[in-house]
Amino acid sequence: MKKLSVTRLQVFLPFALGYFLSYLYRVINSVLAPDLAADLGVDPSGLGLLTSAYFLTFAAFQLPLGVLLDRFGPRRIEAALLVVAAAGAFVFAHAHTLTGLVVGRGLIGFGVSACLMAAFKAFVLWFPRQQLPRINGFQMAAGGLGALAATSPVEAALGVTDWRGVFTLLALLTLIVAAVIFFVVPERRESSGEETFGEQLRGIGTVLTDLNFWRIAPWTTLSQASYLAIHGLWAGPWLRDVAGYDRPAVAGTLFLLALAMILGFVALGTIAERLSRRGVTTMSVAAVGMGLWMVVLLLIIFEQGPWCRLLWMLFGFFGTAGILPYAVLSQSFPSHLSGRANTALNLLVFVTAFAAQWGIGAVIGRWPITETGGYAPAGYRAAFLILLALQLGTVVWFWIAGAICSKKK
């Protein structure tokens, strides 16, 4: 038993390091946005495109990633892809044009595209299924630590070097983590790993024609995509332009948001596991959490007073509820399809996050620049309200599809 626990730590910790870096890369531009905009002279739409390139390449690789994870295993796939991420960080650090930065950001997104799904696949292979919501929550908490590192610590680092130096250091750290994953994580294969390539492609079809998948996917997609788009870029500018915070206050609030996000990942995963023993489904916990997150976003849109920091902390806490459906899907399909089920959902999430992050910038850009040089508060409100309206539609579908699934049973 002790040996098994040590082995599980060998599985969990390296993948946690990978996801730490993945999330740091994902949200770092929320702090760096003023520097990038100043160096490049781009409008909100251009800034959104630059940052969201991460999501586009990340999403584009999700379906083939699912096949590769199920065929070759998570250890080798993630280690190889992190080398690509390191190359992308190096390109980003040394690029001097918007095109070069978009290419670097795109390579980073491609390179970290396995950091969460590879971990989820490894956990399915090494941990009991009833523990998956909690273990997945711990994995997401590691990502939250990455988001934490991308706030005040990055702001402090900018006093020593510039954003190019930060990305050069990240390139080196990414190579180190790739080596740790490759050499430390033990290998475990399953008999279904002998599937032919054609059988694996048919497995994707099995996932994409499953009604329960399409019941869960739309709401989860809009919830997570909206959360990622705002947290990954627009939370920082919102705090500057709407709340009127200076740079240290922005970084400090984003730090609190990330801290609340870590607590949310751990707490909601643990709550879901414990309630499941009492007959409460993990999807029910997710639905309550995602619903509360929508309420928080609505309050953020119209509240810029003393509750601002608390609301952004609640934004971080309940925004984590959208990760619980991944555990639901892992438990809904055979283990040899779990990689494809989660990467199919991830594809939808990150394509939508790309569109949302760029789209928010396009909506904000419809309003003129303010006298202080910032973006108009009305633009943020309009963009966030559009996201909320779209989510409401998916909530309605979730309940309709649930009724259909119940009748089929």
Number of domain units in the chain = 1
The CA distance from 216 to 222, in Å, is: 11
* Cα–Cα nearest to 27, from 303, 237, 299: 237
pLDDT value for 190: 62
Answer whether residue 194 is part of any domain. no
Could you tell me if 303 and 314 are in contact, meaning their C-beta atoms sit under 8 angstroms apart? no
Answer whether residue 114 is part of any domain. yes
Cα 265 from chain centroid (whole Å): 12
The CA distance from 136 to 324, in Å, is: 8
The CA distance from 385 to 11, in Å, is: 41
Which residue spans within 70-132 are E strands per DSSP? Answer: none
Taking CA atoms, 308 is separated from 68, 272, 288, 303, 314, in Å, by: 44, 28, 22, 7, 10
Answer whether residue 356 is part of any domain. yes
* Angle of the 98-111 helix axis to the 29-40 helix axis, nearest 10: 160
Answer whether residue 191 is part of any domain. no
Answer whether residue 188 is part of any domain. no
pTM score of the predicted model: 0.82
Range of the structural domain that residue 234 is part of: 8-182+203-408
Answer whether residue 196 is part of any domain. no
Helix (H) or strand (E) holding 392: helix 377-408
Angle formed at CA 194 by CA 177 and CA 118, multiple of 5 degrees: 25
- CB 281: neighbour CB atoms within 10 A? 14
Could you tell me if 343 and 66 are in contact, meaning their C-beta atoms sit under 8 angstroms apart? yes
Which residue in this structure is represented by tokens 């523990």?
131
**pLDDT tens track, the chain, 409 positions:** 455 566 788 899 999 999 999 999 999 988 888 888 888 777 788 888 888 899 999 988 987 887 788 788 899 999 999 999 999 999 999 998 888 999 999 999 999 999 988 998 888 888 887 777 778 878 988 998 999 999 889 999 999 999 999 999 999 999 999 999 999 998 876 655 456 667 777 888 888 889 989 999 999 999 999 999 999 889 999 999 999 999 899 999 999 999 999 999 889 888 988 898 899 999 999 999 999 999 999 999 987 678 899 999 999 999 999 989 988 887 888 877 877 888 789 889 989 999 999 999 999 999 998 888 889 999 999 999 999 999 999 999 999 998 887 777 6
The CA distance from 231 to 318, in Å, is: 13
- CB 247: neighbour CB atoms within 10 A? 15
* Cα–Cα nearest to 264, from 307, 319, 304: 319
CATH of the domain at 23: 1.20.1250.20
- What are phi and psi for residue 91, nearest 5 degrees? -60, -45
Q: Reduce the secondary structure of 25-38 to three states and give it as a string.
A: HHHCHHHHHHHHHH
Answer whether residue 368 is part of any domain. yes
Answer whether residue 226 is part of any domain. yes
pLDDT value for 331: 80
pLDDT value for 391: 97
Tokens (6 digits) for 348: 């939808």
**What is the rounded radius of gyration, in angstroms, for the C-alpha atoms of the chain?**
20
pLDDT value for 1: 47
**Amino acid occupying residue 382:** A
**Amino acid occupying residue 334:** P
pLDDT value for 346: 84
Angle formed at CA 223 by CA 221 and CA 227, multiple of 5 degrees: 115
* Cα–Cα nearest to 366, from 375, 358, 357: 375
